[in-house]
Amino acid sequence: MRKFFLIILFCCISYIGFGQAEVGLEIGNIAPEINLPDSDGYMIPLSSLRGKVVLIDFWASWCAPCIKEIPNLVNIYNEYKDEKFSVGDGFTIYGVSLDKDRKQWTNAIAKHNLLWTNVSDLNFWKSEGAKIYNVRAIQACFLIDGNGIIIAKNLRGKNLLVILESYK
């Protein structure tokens, strides 16, 4: 009888877990949580943006390719922030800066008019966000749907536009 009970219990546990996405960094995984302070010191969890399509963008004010990409991101953000997608309601960016100098970081946000959520623990390459997402080089980004599922990685410029358009 005990053996029968254990088999039933195992089947129930297996069934409950079947089909659920796991947290990870691959497409189809639930994006790991990041909870870092914004430029005012308020902790902003990535999960607070659930419901929207979110580009998690790892960048820094000292990264020339990151700065070069900013005009594209600003245009995409402005064009799609209120868009209704099949995988989320609106588009936003969760910018994770790998800066270590607060003034350089906040000056870059102001100078480039980055109106989306910007966070940083100012720990450079030891940033908690970079550790969680295994970021070894920037620019790095992850696109997640309204449920927090990773739907694409490392998209820039036209490639990001193509993916966003495909979900309209």
pLDDT of res. 14: 36
CB atoms within 10 A of CB 77: 17
pLDDT tens by residue, 2-28: 443 333 333 333 334 445 679 899 999
Q: Are 133 and 142 in contact (CB under 8 A)?
A: yes
The pLDDT assigned to 20 comes to 62
Residue-level pLDDT at 24: 92
Q: Per the domain annotation, does 12 fall within a domain?
A: no
Predicted confidence (pLDDT) per residue in 112-122, tens digit: 999 999 999 99
Task: Tell me, yes or no, whether 10 lies in a domain.
Answer: no
Is position 63 within any domain? Answer: yes
Task: Write the DSSP symbol of residue 87.
Answer: T
Confidence of residue 130 (pLDDT cuts 50, 70, 90): very high
Beta bridge partners, 85, equal 88
Give the model's pLDDT for residue 156.
87
pLDDT of residue 5: 37
Q: With respect to residue 28, please indicate whether it lies within any of the assigned structural domains.
A: yes
How many domains is the chain partitioned into structurally?
1
The domain that holds 80 is classified in CATH as 3.40.30.10
Q: List the domain range (segments joined by +) for residue 107.
A: 23-166
- Predicted TM-score of the model (pTM): 0.86
Quick check: 132 pLDDT over 90?
yes
Dig out the tokens for 142 from the structure: 């992850």
13 assigned to some structural domain:
no
